[in-house]
Chains A and B, each alone.
Chain A
Amino acid sequence: MNAELSELASHCIRCGFCLESCPTFLVTGEETESPRGRIYLARGSLEGRLDWRQAAPHLDACLGCRGCETACPSGVQYGQIVELAREEIAARRAAPGLRLLLGMLTRPGVLRRLGALGRRLPGARMPRILGLLFSNEPPVAGLPVAQWSGMLPPLDETLLMPITGQAFILDGCAMGSLFPRVQEASARLLRRVGLAPKRLASGCCGALHAHSGYVAQGAAMARRVLARLPENDVLVATAAGCGSWLKEQAHGKRRVLDLSELLHENGLGEALKKAPGYWAVATYHDACHLAHAQGIRSQPRELITAIPGLTLLPMPESDLCCGSGGISNLTHPSQAVALQTRKLENAQATGASLLIQGNPGCHLWLAPAAKARGLTVLHTAEALEAAFIGLEWFCDGAKQTAEAERT
């Protein structure tokens, strides 16, 4: 028997304090779709009272947001429990669809091609066959559309503070290929706090694999990424899921930090006060793997609030999952749409026009639907860099502006 899983699961006292923090429970109202229920089913399967196959659909539906860990008074490490339970399930079930999807979505080359395809086919959906591998519902997630990657205006080095250190930005899979503008903004922000930005073209860190139950494979991928980082150096994640996974996997002298953490630590707040800023009303969505997995809530908010002219309004249920949940919007479409709608309704109710967040999964999932409601989704790095060079560089007109400038 899996002793580690048994030990972790035994800490749940079934008080139920996790229920209202669980997105799948909020949508279904079902005990089997709650953290407490899933732990109970995993324990039951582990101890031979239930078949893993019977527990599997309920563990599959979990978004892995770890909102329950924040709510739990007993310190139950739910994220680890789900990973280990999914590992038990994966060992008993061939899931070619899931493997194929993971393989596709975590290869920068494939992603780039998908992204190119997505740009050419506006409103394109993920191929129907992919969705049908997991559920009987047609897929609702769009093909990932890569950001425009034109040049931002050059930095005036003479106005910047001297370089005192360096940091490596993780390009990974999705960020490097789909969000070049976020990566570029992140590099510029590092430079603004006196850190020389380096890029770590490392390939996928394995977070999606681990969260889907392929823990050993995920760990091996994380080791490969971390091995490329020089010792005593800092790796900066611009994707919440990668940051939290690599933090768990990093040992010794290699530090992994989320971008907002590092910028906050290094005094970007001060620099922002002197920036031109822009007029906007914004609200902030807590990516699950920032708020719940890493406890990062105040740093991005404090930085965003420091942008001159910007008003940041609190959003109800700001730390409730938006439904993206790694690849959950592909495997559980209707659940994902219900949560997406709830998130955008909460955002709209604040009266904000900018929805700022720090994770590519949320970004891809929320942006198209948000646009239809008149909301622009930005990565924290984009919102912050916009304070220095103007919001127009990160909104829809950015491309035209840049092209006009070039010609």
Chain B
Amino acid sequence: MLNMEAPRPTEGFFARELGALLAPDRIRVGAAAARAYECDAYTVDRAEPWAIALPESTEEVAVLVRWCVRHGVPFTPRGAGTGLSGGAMAARGGIIVSTKRMTQILEVDLPNRRILAQAGIANKRLSDAVAAAGLHFAPDPSSQTVSTLGGNIAENSGGPHTLKYGVTAQHILGLTLVDPTGEVVHLGGDATGGPGLDFVGLVVGAEGTLGIVTEAWVKLTPLPEAVHTLLASFAEIDQATASVAEIVGSGILPAALEMMDEGIMRAVSQAFRLSYPEGARALLLIECDGAPEASAKEAAEAERICRAHRALAVEIAEDEAARQRLWIARKKGIGAMGRLAPSIVTHDGVIPRSKLPEMLRFVYEVAEQHRLLVANIFHAGDGNLHPCFGFDDRDPEQIRQVVEAGEKILRKCVELGGSLSGEHGVGVEKSELMSLMFSPDDLCLQADAKRIFNEGDLCNPCKVFPSQKGCIEHRARWRGVAW
């Protein structure tokens, strides 16, 4: 048994042992590999793994996990590494278990509208595989061209269209999990709504702390017959939020209802030379889909509501190319921030929709106090706000400012009656803030639930729950590491 406080084993040890266990080409060690895997898309916290394993099957994952348990080595699952809360960071070192060599579609079952795939496949490839049959995998995080099925399951990912179609949890029928002891477990079934306790529901959104999902049966959803997309611009944020409230209140269920602020417009117009009406301070992207007549009627009603709230302009997409253009600000807004700052961090909080104007004012104040560039994207339909800060990650002082500003914003979300996380997960970023939302009893109950799967503390340690054994001292090492 390796002691956590003992010096870490040599690279040669991992390469030799794990290479013999699986195959030499499945194991990577060395300075370059450790560095490349030290963080995901959340770059504020970084910790190098000791080795990286790239298993090709459920059985290989199980063999690896059993080896880790035997040797007391922590292990952390990782998909594409697009997570935004540090969920794929090797917080206590140990081994990164990458699913990126498990990317096969294993079975397509069109009559029953479902598909079985390995965890490492990119989300979008599932939809591409069945597009010809008029079906798709509905969860659509912005990262869907790259983020993996396993990662989406871990984070219970959302996306613009989850307002109507639901988050990942609603689309997972069953899964294969290598539990933290290395046992292969099949959960759920072939159909929705099995009897008994919902273990699939527990695993989806557990951020990889209950084991490593290696395969899943996912539900396929028919593609909508018609799609209507509008982009409305407003001079005041309050006008946009009032429009959102009325649209939702009128009984329309848009497929997507997204708001973008001035910061996003500025980044996008610099990056793509797009222009928005002068004086616009908020954009509202509305998409209605479904049967042609019904969706057209919904879109017309949404347009009427926006105009009634004095929209500066309402642009309506006439064809697919125009639709893509209207989506640019939403899809590429955060990326465009990268053109303005060396590094960004995208926060994720939930607030009651009615509190948005107040919340945005607070975000701008905080950004000014901490001298940070800021832009906001808001899933207005479900109250999920993404403030995005730009900063220079080579400057330790700026990193400190970013961490502080982020904490202030999350505290405010909870204060306003919202939540710490909508869809990015808690990861290492927010674990210490969990006590803002949950009482010690609540947290104990969650820890008990976790114990059903996980007797040890090796599986994705230091994630989600605050003040875990052996994590406090490590936290000081990886929190806010500058270049």
- Seen from chain A, the residues whose Cβ lies within 8 Å of a Cβ on chain B are 10-20, 25, 29-32, 37, 40-41, 43-44, 47, 49-51, 54-55, 57-58, 71-76, 316
Question: A306 vs B271: C-alpha distance in the bound complex, in angstroms?
Answer: 35
Smallest CB–CB gap between A35 and chain B, Å? 11
User: C-beta contact mask, B259-292 vs A, less than 8 Å → 1, else 0?
Assistant: 0000000000001000000000000000000000
Residues of A contacting B36 with CB < 8 Å? 31-32, 37, 40-41, 58
**B78's closest neighbor in chain A, by CB?**
A31
Pick the interface stretch among B24-32, B306-314, B442-450. B24-32
Whether A20 and B145, one on each chain, are in contact in the complex, defined by CB atoms closer than 8 angstroms, is yes
Contact call B100/A75, Cβ cutoff below 8 A:
no
A11 lies within 8 A of B37 (CB): no
Say yes or no: A29 contacts B98, CB within 8 Å: yes
Report how far A47 CA is from B339 CA in the complex, Å: 21
* Residues in B whose Cβ lies below 8 Å from that of A25: 100
Of all chain A residues, the one with the shortest Cβ separation from B343 is A13
User: Bound complex: CA of A305 vs CA of B94, how far in Å?
Assistant: 55
Cα A31 to Cα B338 with chains together (Å): 20
Contact B32 A55 (CB under 8 A): yes
Q: How far is the CA of A25 from the CA of B120 in the complex (A)?
A: 13
* Chain B residues in 8 Å Cβ range of A30: 28, 33, 52, 54, 98, 100
Q: List 8 A-B contacts (CB under 8 A).
A: A14-B41, A16-B40, A29-B103, A30-B28, A47-B483, A55-B32, A71-B145, A74-B338
- A41 / chain B contacts, CB cutoff of 8 Å: 32, 35-36
Q: Pick the contact of B483 from A32, A43, A58, A75 — CB < 8 Å? A: A43
From A13, A17, A32, give the contact of B32 (CB < 8 A).
A32
Asked if A12 and B146 sit within 8 Å, CB to CB, the answer is: no
Assembly CA distance A50 to B147 (angstroms): 28
A44 touches B338 (CB 8 A): no
- Which single member of A15, A72, A75, A316 contacts B41 (CB below 8 Å)? A15
B-chain residues with CB within 8 Å of residue A55 when the two chains form the complex: 32
* B342 engages A10 (CB within 8 Å): yes
Could you say which residues of chain B place their CB within 8 Å of the CB of A13?
41, 43, 335, 337-338, 343-344
Complex CA distance for A13 and B344, rounded to whole angstroms? 6
Taking CB atoms and an 8 Å cut-off, the chain B residues in 77-117 that contact chain A are 80-82, 98, 100-101, 103
Find chain B residues with CB under 8 A from A37 CB: 36
Once the chains bind, are B342 and A15 in contact (CB under 8 Å)? no
CB <8 Å contact, A75 and B145: no
User: In the complex, are the beta carbons of B32 and A54 less than 8 A apart?
Assistant: yes
For B28, B80, B271, which residue has the most chain A Cβ atoms within 10 angstroms? B80
Is B334 engaged at the interface, CB distance under 8 Å to the other chain? Answer: yes
Q: Which residues of A contact B331 (CB under 8 A)?
A: 73
List CB contacts (< 8 Å) of B49-95 with chain A.
52, 54, 80-82
B483 touches A11 (CB 8 A): no
Q: Quote the shortest CB–CB distance from B140 to chain A (angstroms).
A: 14
Q: Verify if B221 is at the interface (C-beta below 8 Å from A).
A: no
CB of B230 within 8 Å of the partner chain: no
Please name the residue on chain B nearest to A39 by beta carbon: B36
Complex alpha-carbon distance, A43 and B393, angstroms: 12
Q: Kindly state the separation between the CA atoms of A49 and B100 in the bound complex, as whole angstroms.
A: 26
Q: Please tell me if the beta carbons of A72 and B35 are within 8 angstroms of each other in the complex.
A: no
Q: Which residues of B contact A73 (CB under 8 A)?
A: 331-332, 334-336, 338
Residues of A within 8 A of B100 (CB): 25, 29-30
The answer to whether A11 touches B101, judged by C-beta atoms less than 8 angstroms apart, is no
Nearest B residue to A19 via CB reads B146
A31 cross-chain contacts in B, Cβ below 8 A:
33, 36-37, 52, 81, 98
Contacts of A43 in B (CB 8 A): 483
Residues of the B chain whose Cβ atoms lie less than 8 Å from the Cβ of A15 = 41, 82, 143, 334-335, 338
- 6 interchain residue pairs of minimum CB distance: A73-B335, A74-B338, A29-B100, A10-B342, A13-B338, A16-B82
Task: Give CA–CA (A75, B341) in the complex, Å.
Answer: 12
- Given the contacts A20-B122, A73-B338, A74-B339, A40 and B101 also touching, CB distance less than 8 Å: no
B39 close to A (CB within 8 Å): yes
Closest A-chain residue to B393, C-beta based? Answer: A10
**Chain B neighbourhood of A19, CB < 8 A:** 80, 82, 122, 146
CB distance from A86 to the nearest CB of B (A): 15
What residues of chain A lie closer than 8 Å to B343, measured between beta carbons?
A: 10, 13
Contact of B338 among A12, A20, A51 (CB under 8 A): A12
User: A68 CB to closest chain B CB, in angstroms?
Assistant: 11
Complex Cα gap A236–B5 (Å): 65
Cα distance A16–B346 in the bound complex, in angstroms = 14
Question: How far apart are B123's CB and chain A's nearest CB, in angstroms?
Answer: 10
A30 to B: closest C-beta gap in Å: 7
Closest CB of chain B to A295's CB: distance in Å?
A: 14
Q: Is the CB of B31 within 8 A of A51?
A: yes
Question: Quick check: A11 and B339 within 8 Å, CB to CB?
Answer: yes
